Amino acid sequence: MRSKVVGLVAAAALLASVGIANAEGPVKLTDGQLDKITAGASPTSASVAANVATTGALNFAGAVNTAVAANLAATASPSAVDTAVAADLGAAAAFNNLVAASTSAAIIAGTP
């Protein structure tokens, strides 16, 4: 019964929205209006991209510092090798995240 009601409400909403997006023909814009049109990238998306890339870089730097410290500890004490390997894997994962974040940031910043 409940699914029938949901289906009925969805169908009613679809039928009610048919007339909402009634586009007419093309509109000619003045030069002043065209000068104010942007192609999609906004300062907000550019700053988000920069923040994502910066966060990825900082996380990677922290992971590398942890891995270096763990590797130095492992050279002094062979029982610390497990910790060093785990830190190295963490640094590798952070590098992977940095690459993904940088790629995403470049796509966001480069999107017209």
User: How sure is the predictor about 7, in pLDDT bands with cuts at 50, 70 and 90?
Assistant: low
Residue at 95 is within a domain:
yes
Residue at 53 is within a domain:
yes
User: Distance (Å, rounded) from C-alpha 79 to C-alpha 102?
Assistant: 36
Residue at 29 is within a domain:
no
Q: Could you list the residue range(s) of the whole structural domain that residue 94 is in?
A: 41-112
Token duo for residue 21: 């997006």
Q: What are phi and psi of 94, to 5 degrees?
A: -65, -35
Are the beta carbons of 22 and 93 closer than 8 angstroms?
A: no
pLDDT digits (tens, 9 = 90+) for 33-65: 888 776 655 556 777 777 878 888 888 888 888
User: How sure is the predictor about 18, in pLDDT bands with cuts at 50, 70 and 90?
Assistant: low
Residue 91 has pLDDT above 60, yes or no: yes
Write down the pLDDT at residue 17: 53
Residue at 89 is within a domain:
yes
Neighbours of 76 (CB within 10 A): 8
User: Distance (Å, rounded) from C-alpha 70 to C-alpha 83?
Assistant: 6
Residue at 25 is within a domain:
no
The whole-model pTM stands at: 0.49
Residue at 84 is within a domain:
yes
List alpha helices for the chain, DSSP H: 2-16, 31-35, 43-76, 81-110
Domain count within the chain: 1
User: Distance (Å, rounded) from C-alpha 71 to C-alpha 112?
Assistant: 45
Write down the pLDDT at residue 81: 87
User: How sure is the predictor about 92, in pLDDT bands with cuts at 50, 70 and 90?
Assistant: confident
Residue at 5 is within a domain:
no
Token duo for residue 104: 């995403």
pLDDT digits (tens, 9 = 90+) for 68-84: 888 888 888 888 888 88
Residue at 33 is within a domain:
no
Greatest mean pLDDT among 33-37, 85-89, 97-101 lies in: 85-89
